[in-house]
Amino acid sequence: MIKQLGFVFHGDRCIGCRSCELACRNEHYAQGGPQFRRITELKDGSFLSFSCNHCDSPECFRVCHNKAFTKRKDGIVQINPHLCDGCRECIKACPYGAPQYDLYKNKVDKCDLCLPRLQKGLLPACVTACHTGALEFADLDQIKVAGLQKQIKGFPDIRLTRPSIRFTPVSTRKRYWQK
């Protein structure tokens, strides 16, 4: 059975604490290097958590002249560091800023959905670290959450790449000083 593993992001739950960023960095590059997950604050005060979306039609895969990218049957998009020559075309092509250049290796690297953790039955580090439950890991073909959307305000256009992320709608936040 073919799966599409990916993320569900609950924007109403994200408080911008950056725990997911730190967990990702600690899992992959504790001593510096690329940052695979990033939190962005939107104009309305809500937050968006970005990483590789393991797209159905990944632009990184399409533009790589060395064919360094592969897409597994479970939907995980991987990069083979032995085939990457560091040209950075994939970085330019990705609308989500997922591939990152590693200055120390002179190669591009990206989120692998914490594949070594998944193989041990663990969740991705970013999901485990999210104490508000804003970030969830799921088989997107099987998930049953009411109101899931493929696009939300602040997220790049999905028509070309069809990213493997879903969102719950973000409601307008009322601050304690607002009536």
- The fold of the 5-168 domain, in CATH, is Alpha-Beta Plaits (3.30.70)
Distance CA 155, CA 40 (A): 10
| pLDDT value at residue 167 | 93
What tens-digit pLDDT sequence spans the chain (179 residues)?
468 999 999 989 999 999 999 999 999 886 677 889 999 998 888 999 989 999 999 999 999 999 999 999 999 999 999 999 999 999 999 999 999 999 989 999 999 999 999 999 999 999 999 999 999 999 998 887 778 899 988 889 999 999 999 998 777 555 554 44
Q: What is the pTM of this model?
A: 0.88
